Amino acid sequence: MTRLFNDPAAFADEALEGFTAAHRRWVRPVTGGVVRATTTPAGQVAVVIGGGSGHYPAFSGLVGRGLAHGAAVGNVFASPSARQIHSVATAAHAGGGVLLMYGNYAGDVLHFGQAAERLAADGVDTRTFAVADDISSAGPEESANRRGIAGDLPVFKAAAAAAEQGLPLAEVLRVAERAGARTRSFGIAFSGCTLPGADHPLFTVPEARMAVGLGIHGEPGIGEEALPTADEAARLLVETLLEELPEDVADPAGQRAAVILNGLGSVKYEELFVVYRKVAALLGDAGVEIVDPEVGELVTSFDMAGISLTLTWLDDRLEELWRAPADTPAYRKGALDAAEPDRDRAPVTAAAQDTAVPAAPVVPAASDASRRAAATVLAALDAVSRVVDAHADELGRIDAVAGDGDHGIGMRRGSTAAHRAAHDAHGLGAGAGTVLTRAADAWADKAGGTSGALWGTILRSLGTALGDRDAPDAARVAEGVTEASAAVRRLGGAQVGDKTMVDVLVPFADALAAATAEDLPLAEAWDRAATTAAAAAVGTADLLPRRGRARPHAEKSLGTPDAGAHSLALITRAVHGALLDHH
């Protein structure tokens, strides 16, 4: 388990602070993550990677020449927010455009996509690429839905090496696509990981058994088998990967492959070497030429006892990029000339931050009626924060049935930050719309992950509808909720029946709109809609997930409601209480 921490909520920030203090030769801190401490040639494409904390050396440990130009770092097992990614990419940009790269998880897809839109609005040519290498998470016909695990490294490296060669952004993206299409990974685990501050692992494996087809966020495997010997484990990994070759590889014999045997946190290097000796022998028997193998911890999951095997099938171009030199805190290969430190953009020290005088925050002008409505909004967000805090452990347990168990943690971080931001904005005299939009940004930033993106969207949609001029009536609130429902579906792509928060949000929005159309007062209309939301949340227990991290474990989730749907239902009821108190 994770034993050394202070406040669990501060773990990711403090880990990143210590990492940058230890590796100033390679990286410098910026808001949201780190960028190279050395100069980048003008006009070079910036490869910016990122994801949640808890996977070191991914992602911050892979920043340096020959690999990433920057890394956006989210909270534990949660994607960084769009604002964090935008900040890191802006700092890393050298005039040649930006390629954003990440593992294929819903939260990362949402936040990196939003960041790409913001960068494009800034005039920065930006592309995105999601690594999807885990063959256990979807079949070949659904390869675009696969998770990104240890295959992140060879795909990141191929794109970054191409950028170092001065290729334009479109060519760097094509290299990433080629490497991604030729990369496959598969893993096994013997125990789950324990998050900082938790007293139990996210999943357990029975004695003398192993989980097969694991993720890197504490998700359980897709099945269980008897505990193997090292040679049996090697055989399972190799044979599974050789069963699925890239479309343009008919036979493994005569092919070249970059090989990564990855430890997920608590399997010792000696154990990895015992397994690798058999991996190398089996691949050799199949006629595969191994090129520059890597054995060690490269993409981890805290203290998970597990291993994964990655094969990237090489052609001449990909081999050149795989062999290219790199110099980062956690990954080094070959030799590079001495680096020139980036003296024009020196890191801001903690002392300088402490003595800096922050600019006075400014809020848009608002009417007295909107300011009075803002007091009700603040009370509602206080109720949201309190109900989430009270149910955070329960939400985590529900989420852990088929996911990674972090929903309660993320919701607590987001709702607490949203209430704090709303309180500050209200104290400055902000109207209802501004209070909600400030809360939206804070929730997205602090929670990260899918829930952070979606709740940021919900609050922003409501804030836009309410505005800062008029006193919002029931009809306007219902319009805002309806727009939030539509925006969440546009952003996340989920529909009713997919076993997500949408299964509650849509019927809630529809019920609220119908009730306000009958000219019911807002509190009464909200009460009716919240009752509908509670019933819809219970109904998700009968659904099989079709999206998100729970999808590979669909059968396990049957009989358990969706965590996001359940939390939304709890929130709608809590807000009703605030509306009654401020009627």
CA-derived radius of gyration, the chain: 24
Q: With CA atoms as reference, report the closest residue to 516 among 470, 479, 488.
A: 479
Are the CB atoms for 102 and 73 separated by under 8 Å? no
From the list 69, 217, 391, 426, the catalytic residue is 217
CA–CA gap between residue 222 and residue 451 (Å, rounded): 24
Cβ atoms < 10 Å from Cβ of 577: 18
Are the CB atoms for 214 and 188 separated by under 8 Å? yes
Tokens 């803002």 sit on residue: 374
Q: Does the annotation mark 217 as catalytic?
A: yes
Task: Report cis status (omega within 30 of 0) of the bond before 508.
Answer: no
Tokens 């299964």 sit on residue: 503
Phi, psi angle pair for 488, to nearest 5°:
-65, -40
Are the CB atoms for 537 and 565 separated by under 8 Å? yes
- Point out which residues pair with 294 in neighbouring strands: 260
Residues 6+ apart with CB under 8 A from 229: none
Q: Is 467 left (phi over 0), alpha (psi -120 to 50) or beta?
A: left
Q: With CA atoms as reference, report the closest residue to 147 among 221, 41, 202.
A: 221
Cβ atoms < 10 Å from Cβ of 240: 18
Would you state the structure tokens that stand for residue 171, as one six-digit string? 């060519």
Cβ atoms < 10 Å from Cβ of 478: 24
Buried b (16+ CB within 10 A) or exposed e, 99-109: bbbbbbbbbbb
Would you state the structure tokens that stand for residue 106, as one six-digit string? 């819903």
391 CB-side CA count, 13 A:
21
Residues 6+ apart with CB under 8 A from 58: 49, 51, 152, 153, 298, 299, 300
Helix, strand or coil, per DSSP, at residue 423? helix
- The CA angle 135-136-139, to the nearest 5 degrees, is 65
Distances from the Cα of 349 to the Cα of 313, 346, 352, 438, angstroms: 44, 9, 5, 27
CA–CA gap between residue 205 and residue 183 (Å, rounded): 28
Would you state the structure tokens that stand for residue 479, as one six-digit string? 């319009």
Are the CB atoms for 492 and 498 separated by under 8 Å? no
CA–CA gap between residue 150 and residue 378 (Å, rounded): 43
CA–CA gap between residue 460 and residue 64 (Å, rounded): 36
CA–CA gap between residue 70 and residue 44 (Å, rounded): 13
Tokens 């940058």 sit on residue: 20
> Would you name the residues annotated as active-site residues?
217
